[in-house]
Amino acid sequence: MAEGLSLTLRQRAPIALDCTLECAAGELVALVGPSGSGKTTVLRCVAGLDQAGEGRITCGGALWFDRGVAVPPQQRRVGMVFQAYSLLPHLSAEDNVALALWHLPRREQRQVARQWLSRVHLQGLEERRPAKLSGGQQQRVALARALARAMSAGDQAPGVLLLDEPFAALDQVTRRKLQQELARLRRELPVPIVLVTHDLDEARMLADRMVLLHHGTSLQQGAPEDILSRPADVRIARLVGHTNLFEAEVVQSDGAGASLLWQGQRLTVSEKPRFRPGTRVCWLIPPEGVLLLRRDWTPRDSDHNLVSGCVEDSVALGPYTQVGLRLESGGLPLSFSLPTRVARRYDITAGAAIRVSLLAESIHLMPWSDLSAQLSLS
Amino acid sequence: MDWSALWLSLKLAACTTLLLLPLAVLLARPLAWSRFAGKGLVEALVALPLVLPPTVLGFYLLYAMGGNSWLGQTYSALTGRTLVFSFDGLLVASLIFNLPFAVQPIQRGFDAIPRAAREAAWTCGLSPWRTLWRVELPLAWPGLLSAIALTFAHTLGEFGVVLMVGGNIATETRTVAIAIYDRVQAFDESGAATMSALLVAISFAAIGALHFLTRRVGRGDG
């Protein structure tokens, strides 16, 4: 990790922070959290634009921040793409990039700036001022400038690339395109990359690992898929958007999995058990773990947990229809989604009685916490 | 037509503008970006020449720069010249009564620069000095231009303070504005009229140039 970025930040005010983050060279870590969770502040601390109360930041073996040490932003090799790009309106695209190369001779500045602009597919637009560029093109210039700063290190070690909601201001088509380009480009970049975003899908698409930030506290780190499907606790589950959260009791647990007693019904769970029989737990199932069953078919194997209920509401959202199911056994409703054409074919409308299967492999157990108490959290 | 008066006025205006500009940048920058105790007081002091009668300002300056004052004595000890009734004193007075005309537009210019623009420059590795030249001054350019035009034109036209501090000494302190007054007193109406017309023309040209240049800057940005 000596080559990468490593930080711990702690402070009470003005924004409470308690954050640790590791990002190896060549790795892309997404810093994810709702608005106001302190993501941008963490990034600004790395860049040296803000200072945390205490903590430690090292990058590429260099100490940037510690007790009594605060290296100014100029001396941190940080390529930063700001939220609104912060291009300088009086400079052309090329000169904006060349600004990060000021230490080179003028001719070399132009040459290297043009190289970076062509890396982000902006050949031919070098002379344009930012106001004459589209949002997507501006974002590319900002990325080229950040890359020029982070990468053209000469004999120094490359620095770090910081991306602060770089896709937030773009329309969806442009966003998808630039996300793909970043995914392609980053494979050739030997620097740690930290991406700040509030978009879980974006984190899932682009990041190797993800750090979930809430009220300035880093809650869980890991591969995006792991955090999304196996959140450590109910609070994190809610933050990443899980709504199918229920309480149950573990009745049996062995090497093969566990059984839960939930509203008088036994559920099979194939997750490696972490809770002893008799423990109260919370469990979740993501919408994609809920399967609609045809009326004439009943699966026999134990991977299916059959549940019946009455459709409470069904809302078509383009290609997918969101279904809320009131269970026969009572309790909180279950939500899942279906392809809209399937919902039409089987007439899944309010009042319809249906059966679904909760896939044993999709159920995830978490330590018990009072579900009703935290409903207002997010 | 008193050509030496015109020359003196232009010289005074040019020297004032040249000396005041860096001073105003130095003063306007923290006023635009920093919060410090007494900022309101500094802003009020800078604005004071706008509202004070020129004679009042001139009176205090005369008092502060006179032969009995600390400033006047130090100056003559150092240079062998006096501050009052000399071009040097006129220049000092001019710097002071032009403060709001230079500082306020520049302050507005710096105000308009988003903090993120400077932060972008810092993360690019630009030192504060380099940031000033490459980012801040170019972006504050409309404000600087206003300051230059206003200071220049205002110095050409200033009468009260000049008369109080400089008196009416040919080639030393008699500016065009004083010379016009002088001609009128001497019933030389055609002399006064020529010089007045010339002053109008120069001032108009200065403001015109300002508009032209700011429009060009604006187009460059848009």
Q: What is the pLDDT of residues A40-49, one digit of tens each?
A: 999 999 999 9
Give the per-residue pLDDT at B218. 55
Whether residue B220 and residue A129 make contact (CB cut-off 8 A), yes or no, is: yes
Average pLDDT over residues B32-46: 92
Residue ranges of alpha helices (H) inside A197-259 are 200-206, 224-229, 234-239
- Alpha carbon distance A164, A80 (integer Å): 8
Residue with tokens 């682009």: A206
Complex-level ipTM: 0.84
Give the pLDDT of residue A366.
94
- Tell me which chain B residues have a C-beta less than 8 angstroms from the C-beta of A87: 120
Chain A residues inside the 8 Å CB shell of B138? 90
**DSSP-derived 3-state class of residue B188:** coil
pLDDT score for B157: 86
Residue among B118, B122, B123 with most chain A CBs within 10 A, to mutate = B123
Q: Nearest CA of chain B to the CA of A199: how many Å?
A: 23
Over residues B38-50, the mean pLDDT reads 93
What pLDDT sits at residue A156? 62
What's the gap in Å between the CA of B19 and the closest CA on chain A? Answer: 26
Q: Global pTM?
A: 0.85
**Nearest-by-Cβ selection for B220 from A78, A80, A90:** A90
Touching B: A residues 41-70, CB under 8 Å: 47-49
Determine whether the interchain pair B134/A73 forms a contact, defined as Cβ–Cβ distance below 8 Å.
no
Q: Cα B160 from chain centroid?
A: 15
| A154 has a chain B CB within 8 A of its CB | no
All structural domains of chain B: 3-32+45-217 (1.10.3720.10)
Residue of A nearest to B116 (CA): A86
Q: Residues A92, A94, A96, A101: is their CA dihedral positive or negative?
A: negative
Q: How many CB atoms lie within 10 A of CB B162?
A: 25
Q: What 3-state DSSP class applies to A255?
A: coil
Residue of B nearest to A131 (CA): B222
Among A73, A84, A131, beta carbon nearest to B123: A73
Domain extent listing, chain A: 5-236, 239-289+301-367
- Does pLDDT of B222 surpass 60? no
CA–CA separation, B159 and B154 (whole Å): 10
- Check pLDDT > 70 for residue B106: yes
B127 interaction partners in chain A (CB closer than 8 Å) = 74
Using the beta-carbon criterion (under 8 Å), do B117 and A100 form an inter-chain contact? no
For chain A, list residues with pLDDT below 50.
1-2, 375-378
Among B201, B166, B172, B195, CA closest to B6: B195
Place of tokens 């998808």: A176
In chain A, which residues have their Cβ closer than 8 Å to the Cβ of B130?
Answer: 102
For residue A15, the model assigns a pLDDT of 85
Question: A100 to chain B nearest CA, in Å?
Answer: 4
Residues of A in contact with B134 (CB under 8 A): 99, 102
What is the distance in angstroms between the Cα of B136 and the nearest Cα belonging to chain A?
10
CB contact under 8 Å between B139 and A89, yes or no, is yes
Do the beta carbons of residue A314 and residue A343 sit within 8 Å?
A: yes
Per CB-CB distance under 8 Å, the chain B contacts of A156 are: none
The CATH code of the domain at A5-236 is: 3.40.50.300
Q: Residue B169: pLDDT band by 50, 70, 90 thresholds?
A: confident
Q: Which residues of B touch A84 (CB under 8 A)?
A: 116
Reported as type and span, the H/E element at residue B146 is helix B141-157
Mean of the pLDDT values across residues B185-194? 91
Answer whether A145 touches B (CB < 8 Å): yes
CA A75/CA A97 separation, integer angstroms: 18
3-state secondary structure of B83: coil
Question: Mutate which of A94, A102, A103 to disrupt the B interface (most B C-beta within 10 Å)?
Answer: A102
Contact A129 B120 (CB under 8 A): no
Interface of A with B in 176-205 (CB under 8 A): none
Single-letter residue type at A217: T
Contact: A88, B124; criterion CB under 8 Å = no
The residues, ordered by sequence, that sit 6+ positions from A191 with a Cβ below 8 Å of its Cβ are: A25, A26, A79, A150, A151, A158, A159, A160, A161
Residues of A in contact with B139 (CB under 8 A): 88-90
User: Which chain A residues touch B112 with a CB distance below 8 Å?
Assistant: none
Residues B58-77: tens digit of each pLDDT: 999 998 998 888 998 999 99
pLDDT at A378: 42
CB contact under 8 A, B120 and A47: no
pLDDT, averaged across chain B: 90
Topology of A239-289+301-367 in CATH? OB fold (Dihydrolipoamide Acetyltransferase, E2P) (2.40.50)
pLDDT digits (tens, 9 = 90+) for B77-97: 998 888 888 999 999 999 999
A76, A86, A102 member nearest B117 (Cβ): A86
CA atoms in the 13 A half-sphere facing the CB of A170: 21
